[in-house]
Amino acid sequence: FCIEKAKWLWDKGEVHQSLICLQKGLREHFPSHTEIAVQKTPVPGPRGLVLAQILLLLGRCVEAASMVESNSVMKHYLAVTTVAPQWEDGHFYMAKYYDRLMTTLSYRPERAGEVVLYVVQYFGNSLQNGNRYIYQSMPRLLTLWLDYGTSVALQDTTERAAS
């Protein structure tokens, strides 16, 4: 019930109320959800999928509200992939978040390669676990892979020419 109500509140533009609804539902139905995320063990069955759905929506609300730092948002998305590793939505939204994070790291090119690796990995995991987001995941994965490979090759030829 809390998932549907939170989605309804989100659609109405009440992101903060949606966030409160999800946190309340999480405390009521999954009081030990922090222990599950710390143990890094998947939760089997439909209960695990519901927990993953709540955590994913909670992460999206926190990100949309821009109330917390990026590390906290990443923890929410990482908890989703931990609780339900076979669910493509968790991997897809984690990849999208890393992709957005990569655009903010343009001033630190030494970290860009590391972030590209995570984006490609999570888009690949998403595609491995389903095909709902294939038209978003596949083009972005290939673009990042080929662009990063081209930049590495150009850097390598530049270094060879300089020496």
Compute CA distances 19 → 15, 75, 163, whole Å: 6, 16, 56
Q: Distance between CA 8 and CA 129 in Å, rounded? A: 27
Confidence at residue 66, expressed as pLDDT on a 0 to 100 scale: 75
Confidence at residue 154, expressed as pLDDT on a 0 to 100 scale: 87
pLDDT at position 153 over 90: no
pLDDT (tens digit per residue) in 94-150:
999 999 888 777 666 667 778 889 999 999 999 999 999 999 999 999 999 998 888
Confidence at residue 127, expressed as pLDDT on a 0 to 100 scale: 95
Q: How many CB atoms lie within 10 A of CB 104?
A: 10
pLDDT at position 15 over 80: yes
pLDDT at position 163 over 80: no
Q: Distance between CA 62 and CA 160 in Å, rounded? A: 46
Q: Which of 11-25, 75-89, 125-139 has the highest mean pLDDT?
A: 125-139
Mean pLDDT of the chain: 86
Confidence at residue 95, expressed as pLDDT on a 0 to 100 scale: 95
What token pair was written down for 72?
Answer: 């906290």
Q: Which of 23-27, 137-141, 149-153 has the highest mean pLDDT?
A: 137-141
